[in-house]
Amino acid sequence: MTATSSDVARLAGVSRATVSYVVNNGPRPVSDETRARVIAAIQQIGYRPNELARNLRTKRTFTLGLIVPDTHNSYFSEVARGIENIAFEQGYTVFLCHSGSNLIREMQYVNMLQDQRVAGVIWIPGTVDFTPYHKLKEYGVPAVVIDRLVPDEVVPAVVADNYQGGFLATTHLIDLGHQRIGFIRRHVDMSHSQGRYDGYLSALHAHSIEIDDNLVVKGGFTLDDGRRAVKALLELRHPPTAVFAYNDTMAIGGLRAAHEAGLNVPNDLSIVGFDNIALSGFTCPALTTVHLPKFEMGQHGTKLLISLIEKKESPGDLLTPLGVKLIVRESSSIPPNGDPKRSN
């Protein structure tokens, strides 16, 4: 027989109303101990709330939409894991949409999620066009943006300190003694890419290193994009002794380009990435990178979205910045025939 809320209440030793408060996250608070008993009872007897009835009663669904640019990139899967972690804990399910960094697909998903009456949407933009966010706003659907900033508008967002990450990565290479440092940036100037580039420029300026535009190349964000970008840098008349890539995926592609050119990393060329995806610690050599708190960004974004859905968030709490840190591994070293440059 199908388990009911009355069965859960009897097993947990609480009222049906308390079971409802736990399942629906309110409207009255429930102690952690009582909540744990109710959840244990739900799991033991396999109780499944009637979602249709709950949606009709509350006049909203308990589903969140998540639009990401690339499900193949483990960066986004780690963010998604943090999102699902909090969503499930708070009684929400997550509908995953893969946009392929395509604006038309993003808009189609926005319209579909509105048709499905999702409670809110978490969006990681794949282009510089923020029409999808404005459309969600027009629909009255609460939305949070992750790792991007919408120009000239205060938008609920969770971002990392990309500028600081770019500064840390470049300073690390300068302290090792590198003077010619290549940078691979996105072919579109999104806020997070621009932040990393600005950090790179600031580090060069802080150490009185002349900026050479030839050392900056644009690319996509895939393994092959990174391979092609590093290959182009190595073909320069005066190639760099180190390369800082926009993300780990491109940096790993750069490792391949160095190998194809007969170079040893890091003895002949140092390479630094950004994101600290799981694979970066298992490349050969292991990749020096900037750790981005991906899982935490997903968690914070979901907490912010649920607060907006439940109308608990104030305008002053709409932007959540998170810190980054440098992870030094095996892919960065002193330049060829160079000595370590010691910082003061």
pLDDT of 28 reads 72
pLDDT at 341 over 90: no
Residue 52 or 83, more confident: 83
Query: CATH number of the domain at 162-292, out of 3.40.50.2300, 3.50.50.60, 1.10.486.10, 1.10.3730.10?
Result: 3.40.50.2300
Secondary structure percentages of the chain, helix, strand, coil, to 5: 45, 15, 40
Residue 209 DSSP one-character state: P
Instruction: Using the structure block, give the residue that is written with the tokens 């440092």.
Output: 181
Residue 119 is predicted with a pLDDT of: 92
Tens of pLDDT, residue by residue over 15-25, are 988 888 787 76
pLDDT in tens, 260-299: 999 999 999 999 999 999 999 999 999 999 999 999 999 9
Query: Is residue 316's pLDDT more than 80?
Result: no
* Mean pLDDT over the full length of the chain: 88
Maximum average pLDDT range among 227-241, 312-326, 328-342? 227-241
Least reliable range by pLDDT among 73-77, 241-245, 248-252: 73-77
- Say how far apart CA 243 and CA 28 lie, in whole Å: 55
Q: Residue 224: is its pLDDT beyond 90?
A: yes
Tokens 């997550």 belong to residue: 94
Per-residue pLDDT band at 46 (split at 50, 70, 90): confident
Question: Which pLDDT value is given to residue 279?
Answer: 93
Are 58-160+294-321 and 162-292 equal in CATH topology? yes
Lowest mean pLDDT among 149-153, 225-229, 248-252: 149-153
For 97, residues 6+ apart whose C-beta sits below 8 A from its C-beta are: 65, 66, 67, 68, 109, 112, 113
What's the CATH superfamily of 58-160+294-321?
Response regulator (3.40.50.2300)
**Reported confidence tier of residue 70, pLDDT bands at 50, 70, 90:** confident
- Listed in order, strand segments (DSSP E) in 29-112 are 63-68, 93-98
Q: What is the pLDDT of residues 113-163, one digit of tens each?
A: 998 889 999 999 988 888 999 999 999 999 999 988 877 777 899 999 999
What pLDDT is attached to residue 72? 82
pLDDT of residue 66: 96
List the domain boundaries for the chain.
Answer: 58-160+294-321, 162-292
Residue count of the chain: 344
pLDDT for the residue numbered 285: 97
At 35 the pLDDT is: 86
Which candidate, 128, 213, 201, 218, places its Cα nearest to that of 166? 201
Task: Give the residue, 153 or 206, on which the prediction is more confident.
Answer: 206
pLDDT band at 56; cut points 50, 70, 90: very low
Amino acid at 155: V
Average pLDDT of span 221-248: 95
